[in-house]
A and B are shown apart, each in its own frame.
Chain A
């Protein structure tokens, strides 16, 4: 088991109950969609995976380590197991494609040699060969998200976590990004993706967890709930 949630609830200091007694398990190698209307708790659940938020009640294990009992100094090591992809890409504007990816390796202490070797690899993987020296502003939205994904993959994570990765992209580009994510999943990386895009999820035939008002209302292994 890669991820385990046991009776997790989250109540924010302002009284909002974001998650209400959630239990779930995610296996290594799975592709999982988190769906539900805005405010259903998708983002909170995702943020707990990399310990940006802690549960008010309940227990969470990621790769057999308790998120709740983890020391502050251990959090960076936890996060190095994960690649995070953002809706707004979060690329550094003043750095080129290659530099953005190298930066992610640099900050976790990778050596020059590893960086030189790995950066072209992931650029190839996401299909951006030839764009290494472009600045993010010179790229389309889809290409920028590919940089985001390449950056997330640079440190060879166990799982890729994507919060609305296609939220800012048109349908066609979104489908291309999905193909890329499926591809990454086929090579063994667990992918957890929160999304609103019903059509994309429907086509995928992957596991779907539906959230509503902080509760799991549906958990189907191949997205049957959407048919």
Chain B
């Protein structure tokens, strides 16, 4: 591509932007609002995702062992469990440790050992799965090992949790797609006005023998500019708003928001990129009809 052509494309784009100031303003506002809503949806689902995966990773299995097992048999059970695929960690907790923990939660007021006479607790294994979704399956396998008389992992509740997180993920993805499609449509509508104002020029260029790309470039540059400026504004608003939210909410222990700057930076960058893509897509859609000569 010739340098003079590139300069020409940028000049044409700049001319068009400054000629239709009102339209430029309207399109930038549209992009800003769309990207702002999109950004909020992304941050919301990002936090939901973080919250859900934390909930999920808390899911743990406890395998209770028969009290009659010897130390050698306990080792055998451990070996059997370790053979199962998808296990992240396994930790033996002896009955004495369990009792000590229990004692701690009750405090020194009650002497459990004295009250109960002997330790009624069994030996246990605390098992973590690599993928929390596999917990019910692994629990079933562990339960089948001789010497294990019970596996606890919050049966029922865990399955429900996974069902809920599954649907939350699908719905938030669908929501983001719908918002992005809406943004493309809005940008296409506003850029159509700018294309329409120049339809005679486009027709003339086509008949003179200009290639489609020669005609498209100035509009694309215009679209990218509108998309990037609009989304930069949106990201500025979003970052300010989210920053304020972070400061006010850290005192609440239950909800921890995503505050990792590397993650947030990626989200903001992706939003600006999305703005540029939406700008190009919008102009592409509105331009195509007029290129068909």
A residues apposed to B, CB below 8 Å: 50, 52, 73, 76-80, 82, 84, 90, 92, 104, 106-109, 111-112, 151, 155
Contacts and interface: CB of A to CB of B under 8 A. Distances in A.
Given A90-B200, A92-B201, A109 B207 contact: no
B43 interface: no
A90 B208 CA distance: 12
Interface in B200-257: 200-201, 203-211, 214-215
B15 to A, nearest CB: 10
Interface string B145-166: 0000000000000000000000
B293 interface: yes
Contact of B209 (A80, A111, A112): A80
A77 B2 CA distance: 18
Nearest to B292: A72
B208 A107 contact: yes
Given A52-B207, A79-B207, A106 B201 contact: no
Contact of A50 (B5, B200, B207, B214): B207
Contacts of B211: 73, 76
Contacts of A155: 208-209
Contacts of A80: 208-209
B68 interface: no
Given A52-B293, A90-B200, A112-B4, A107 B205 contact: yes
Interface residues of B, number: 18
10 contacts: A50-B207, A52-B207, A76-B209, A79-B206, A80-B208, A90-B200, A104-B208, A107-B209, A109-B5, A111-B4
A90 B5 CA distance: 23
A79 B209 contact: yes
A79 B206 CA distance: 8
B175 interface: no
A54 to B, nearest CB: 12
Contacts of A79: 206-209
Contact of A108 (B4, B201, B204, B209): B209
Contact of A84 (B4, B5, B207, B210): B207
Nearest to A95: B201
B8 interface: yes
A193 B215 CA distance: 28
A136 to B, nearest CB: 13
| 3 closest cross-chain pairs (CB), A and B | A79-B209, A80-B209, A107-B210
Given A108-B210, A109-B214, 18 more contacts: A76-B209, A76-B210, A79-B209, A80-B209, A82-B209, A84-B207, A92-B204, A104-B208, A107-B205, A107-B208, A107-B214, A107-B215, A109-B2, A109-B5, A111-B2, A111-B4, A151-B208, A155-B208
Contacts of B214: 107, 109
Q: Which of A78, A84, A109 has the most CB of B within 10 A?
A: A109
Contacts of A108: 208-210
B4 A77 contact: no
A25 to B, nearest CB: 24
Contacts of B206: 79
A109 B5 CA distance: 7
Given A52-B293, A79-B209, A108-B210, A90 B204 contact: yes
A76 B204 CA distance: 12
A183 B207 CA distance: 24
A46 to B, nearest CB: 11
B207 to A, nearest CB: 5
